[in-house]
């Protein structure tokens, strides 16, 4: 993460104070980038919130309001006034959580497919956040903005299963968020994709941005996208599909799904990015698979307080296990340690 000079405006005594004005000095490595992209690098927040900050004229450059496309220069001072804390409108719900690991600072769950992480219009109940509020009762203990979005460090798509790390304190949230931003969290996904890749391991480095026509989708955007890097390794294959391990080095929205579709190998069952089309295949399981065959299998990182290395793994869900059966007799099985997962030993220490 770029090193920046940060201070709180006169009259504010705490960085966490409501509406505390924040100031950043643009470092050389961000010279010439769009204002919204620079803010995304400097802040631990979503792109939608950055857009709102700019649209509501809560961001200024050297004291003047600028648009999102303004190209910043080294040494310019960026100021922003954070949005007011959102009111708590999320109801705690008694929803079972598959806990992979838990201590006084962090927890890790195995998010099931079909479960949304964070509430949003049209989906205010049944989310991970609803379950977290019930389990730990954060609504009465923390600031409103934290209670509305308790402990969410990173996200998984609704139909992606696997490891999701939760911060149990505000300081933990800040430390883990920076670890993700600085690429100190190592992620491994498992995916089944259409076709056979010519190169059995490699790196996909294509910038990703909002789709120019469909704002709900992402796309490869050569000029306007943000840098995105995904590494892959083929583990097994049939004549029609391949089993991959994926290692995203950046965390763009829908990154793995967009990257794999861009190289002509969309994830099986991904109806948004082309993996849901009926392709010539001898495996009925592939044609019938109802969601994107993507699983966040493992996270590795240093514990934010003890510094101890953690490796947290999530067992495969039943639907994915069924799909993986097609690789048991693969003529190009590249690993003999892929399928077995010990459900009683989900976390290992280095």
Task: List residues with catalytic annotation.
Answer: 157
Q: How many residues does the chain have?
A: 350
- Tokens standing for residue 268: 């099986």
* Residue 77 exposure: Cα atoms within 13 Å on the Cβ side: 12
Residue 134: phi and psi, rounded to 5, are -70, -45
CA separation, residue 271 to residues 127, 128, 260, 338 (Å): 22, 23, 13, 26
CA dihedral of residues 186, 96, 120, 193 (deg, nearest 10): 50
- Tokens standing for residue 320: 């994915």
Cα–Cα–Cα angle for 122, 125, 126, rounded to 5 degrees: 120
Rounded Cα distance between 301 and 137, Å, is 26
The answer for residues whose C-beta is within 8 angstroms of residue 311's C-beta and 6 or more apart is 298, 299, 300, 347, 348, 349, 350
- Tokens standing for residue 277: 């089309």
Q: DSSP secondary structure string, 6-17? A: EEEPTT---TTS
Closest to 190 measured CA to CA, from 110, 130, 246, 108: 246
- Tokens standing for residue 67: 């648009």
């Amino acid at each position: 993460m770029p090193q920046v000079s940060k201070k709180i405006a006169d009259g504010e005594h705490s960085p966490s104070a409501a509406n505390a004005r924040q100031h950043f000095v643009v470092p050389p490595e961000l010279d010439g980038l769009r204002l919204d992209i620079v803010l995304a690098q400097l802040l631990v927040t979503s792109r939608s919130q950055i857009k709102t900050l700019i649209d509501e004229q809560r961001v200024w450059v050297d004291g003047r309001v600028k648009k999102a496309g303004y190209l910043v220069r080294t040494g310019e001072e960026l100021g922003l006034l954070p949005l007011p804390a959102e009111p708590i409108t999320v109801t705690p719900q008694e929803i079972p959580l598959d806990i992979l690991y838990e201590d006084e600072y962090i927890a890790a769950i195995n998010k099931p497919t079909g479960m949304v992480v964070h509430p949003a219009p049209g989906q205010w109940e049944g989310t991970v956040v609803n379950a977290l509020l019930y389990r730990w009762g954060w609504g009465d203990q923390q600031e409103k903005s934290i209670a509305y979005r308790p402990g969410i460090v990173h996200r998984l798509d609704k139909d992606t299963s696997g490891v999701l790390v939760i911060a149990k304190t505000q300081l933990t949230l800040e430390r883990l968020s920076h670890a993700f931003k600085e690429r100190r969290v190592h992620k491994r996904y498992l995916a089944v994709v259409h076709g056979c890749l010519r190169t059995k391991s490699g790196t996909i480095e294509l910038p990703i941005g909002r789709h120019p026509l469909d704002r709900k989708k992402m796309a490869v955007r050569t000029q306007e996208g943000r840098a995105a890097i995904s590494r892959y390794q083929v583990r097994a294959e049939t004549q029609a599909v391949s089993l991959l391990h994926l290692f995203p080095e950046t965390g763009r929205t829908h990154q793995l799904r967009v990257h794999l579709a861009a190289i002509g190998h969309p994830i099986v069952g991904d109806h948004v990015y082309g993996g849901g089309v009926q392709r010539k295949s001898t495996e009925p399981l592939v044609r019938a698979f109802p969601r994107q065959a993507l699983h966040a299998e493992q996270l590795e990182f240093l514990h934010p307080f003890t510094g101890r290395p953690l490796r947290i793994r999530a067992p495969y869900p039943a639907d994915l296990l069924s799909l993986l059966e097609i690789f048991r007799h693969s003529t190009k099985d590249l690993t003999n340690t892929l399928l077995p997962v010990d459900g009683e030993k989900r976390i290992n220490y280095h």
